A and B are shown apart, each in its own frame.
Chain A
Amino acid sequence: MHFSPAPLHIPDGFLSIVISIVCWVITIITLSLAISKTNKALGEKQVPLMGVMAAFIFAAQMINFPVAGGTSGHLLGGALAAIVLGPWAAMLVMTAVVAVQALLFQDGGLLVMGANILNMGLVTAAIGYGLYRAVAGQSKAVRLSVAGVAAWLSVMAGALLTSLQLWLSGTSQLGIVIPAMLGVHALIGLGEALITVAALSFILQSRPDLLGEGSESAKGGRGWIVSGGIIALVVVLLSPLASADPDGLERVAINMGFIDAGQSAPYSIIPDYTLPFLGETAASTIVAGVIGIIVVGAVVLLIGRGMKAKA
């Protein structure tokens, strides 16, 4: 009965503890921002709305259509949620969906839930909303086609992030996991794009007020265009690069210490009674963590600046 839409739900044990924690930190920072923004922007009425919308995303993932040879197309829903609910609310909604999938169905692990939320909830919402927001006020055809592209890219971004996390944890080989994941998700993303576009066009026809000016979905700042655009651009640029030249990417990662950070550090957190922070691997872990936080900080700053400019 329950269907897990795409092989993006990482179970426990497949990510190293360092990667899991780095992902949790990024997720928690983004979510606390989302909570403070929604608390400010929304009344108490919005909480039941978001709860039912989370159930909607969960249920909508069960809708399928036959493609060919017994396979079927499904919805992941991050981009759709961001477009109809606005980015911050969509992030909370997707977080709830991922959390329930993990808690109730063991679809995705607990320690790696931060990574799963990041891959399926946060990045998808940022791309979906950012790109859609960029064409606000354009004709319906333009908005719908951009929504389709955004939905496809959001799935690809999730797949790319999942592959990178698996590789940095030493669970998969980059040269295989990237082409495999991106190849499969290029098709899954097509299903996502088609359903998202059709659903949006249905909503635009029957309840245009839900998506119009002044609706929840129009309240996100213009900073989203920048951040969503940047993430989308990274996916577009990194995917072919990683597929064509995984060794190149691997070399860069080794040079920058990412690999050590992801793989060796878990075993040296409690080394032979020495201070772990003096170890070389732990130092690189910290470097990786700092780089991650700087990246998040930059994105957050951009978003904040955009919101201020709008206000």
Chain B
Amino acid sequence: MHFDAFDRYHEKASFLHRLDPRVKTLVTVVYIVSNALLPDGAWLAFVFAWLFLIAVNLLSQLGIGYTFKRSIVALPFALIAITVLFSIPGTPLFSFQLFMSNLTITDAGLLRFVSILIRSWLSVQMAILLVAVTRFPDLIHALEHLKVPAILTTIIAFLYRYLFVLTDEVFRLIRARESRSAAAAGNRSGGGVFWRAKVAGNMAGQLFLRSYERSDRIYNAMLSRGYAGHLYTLNPHEMKPRDYYVTAFAIGVVFIVQILGRL
């Protein structure tokens, strides 16, 4: 597996790709906070925030539907919010029978449900765009500049660096299990649920030991190359005037969205 197998970064030379990662991270967070602050049913503000998202999408040269396609990931969670349809008192829209209970959808409930989905949908898309136009190491570097403690960013950097190695290890373990799990036609392979859970647990234990021993080797290799407790980057980030303009502009847009949401 290649080291960037998990990356959602798309190599392009767009305006967004060239922006300082700090600016991109900050604007994404501000945008998400702004969405969370919008009241239910602030349609004008939702539309305006969505237009901003589309504009940023266009700037990224990834295609206007790029984040939309990938935003489906957060959809299953909408199930969690479905109960607000029935639970908020308001004018009944229609009711139906389900499992012998009477369910009535109210207008207030529908308003809240749709608002939650829109807020979530807009926020997820901005986060998707952030990682599509920012290399992950740059993102970690930006977090460092934004005062996330070094120990955490270093752990995250290691996690990112060795994720694909250990995933390969997992695939080897799974392949080994499958190659030993043959069954005659019409018969099930393997024992009961407990036996299968035990096999999975042994695999996790095995993976732990391999990872633990690997981390020893990694540490020794790093020491021999001069590691003294810090990771350095060859890619120092410098804020250019452009970065300041973009930050100011984005915060201005968010401000307008907030005002529209409260009109």
What residues make up the interface of A, taking CB atoms closer than 8 Å to B? 1-2, 7, 9-17, 20, 31-32, 35, 38-39, 44-45, 47-56, 58-60, 62-68, 73, 75, 80, 84, 92-93, 95-97, 99-100, 102-107, 109-111, 166, 170-173, 176-177, 191, 194-203, 206-207, 210, 266-267, 269-270
Contacts and interface: CB of A to CB of B under 8 A. Distances in A.
A105 B161 CA distance: 15
Q: DSSP majority for the B interface?
A: helix
Most chain B beta-carbon neighbours within 10 Å: one of A13, A73, A96, A200: A13
Interface string B63-102: 0000000100110110011011011000000000000000
Contacts, number: 271
A14 B118 CA distance: 10
A260 to B, nearest CB: 15
B229 A110 contact: no
Interface stretch (B11-19, B27-35, B234-242): B27-35
B197 A266 contact: no
B10 to A, nearest CB: 14
A67 B193 contact: yes
Contacts of A62: 167, 170, 174
Contacts of B83: 172-173, 176-177
Given A104-B131, A110-B123, 16 more contacts: A13-B116, A13-B120, A32-B149, A39-B151, A52-B158, A54-B156, A55-B158, A55-B159, A62-B170, A63-B170, A73-B193, A173-B84, A173-B87, A198-B198, A198-B202, A270-B258
Contacts of B76: 7
Contacts of B200: 63-65, 73, 75, 194-195, 198
B120 A14 contact: yes
A107 B222 CA distance: 31
Interface string B140-170: 0000000001011011111111110111011
29 contacts: A7-B77, A11-B74, A11-B77, A11-B120, A11-B123, A12-B32, A12-B124, A13-B116, A13-B122, A13-B124, A15-B36, A17-B37, A51-B155, A52-B215, A53-B212, A60-B208, A63-B170, A93-B155, A95-B152, A103-B127, A106-B128, A110-B32, A111-B32, A173-B83, A177-B80, A196-B201, A199-B205, A203-B209, A206-B209
Give the 8 A-B residue pairs with the shortest CB-CB distance, closest first: A198-B201, A51-B158, A13-B120, A202-B205, A194-B197, A12-B123, A13-B119, A52-B215
Contacts of B169: 59
Contacts of A54: 155-156, 158-159
Most chain A beta-carbon neighbours within 10 Å: one of B80, B149, B160, B228: B80
Interface residues of B, number: 86
B159 A202 contact: no
B22 interface: no
A58 B155 CA distance: 13
B175 interface: no
B155 A13 contact: no
A17 B76 CA distance: 21
A110 B28 contact: yes
Contacts of A106: 70, 73-74, 124, 127-128, 131
Contact of A35 (B81, B152, B207): B152
B1 to A, nearest CB: 9
B222 A48 contact: yes
A44 B127 contact: no
B219 interface: yes
Contacts of B257: none
Contact of B204 (A7, A60, A176): A60
A198 B37 contact: no
Given A12-B123, A39-B151, A110-B127, A59 B207 contact: yes
Contacts of B136: 103-104
A63 B204 contact: yes
B211 interface: yes
B183 to A, nearest CB: 12
A210 B212 contact: yes
Given A172-B80, A203-B208, A103 B131 contact: yes
Contacts of B24: none
A116 B7 CA distance: 22
B246 interface: no
Nearest to B83: A173
Contact of B120 (A12, A75, A105, A198): A12
Contacts of A195: 197, 200-201, 204
B157 A20 contact: no
A14 B209 contact: no
Contacts of A16: 36
A7 B74 CA distance: 11
A12 B119 contact: yes
Nearest to B117: A13
A3 to B, nearest CB: 11
A13 B196 contact: no
Interface in B118-140: 118-124, 127-128, 131, 136, 139
Most chain B beta-carbon neighbours within 10 Å: one of A62, A105, A106, A176: A106
Nearest to B33: A111
Contacts of A60: 170, 204, 207-208
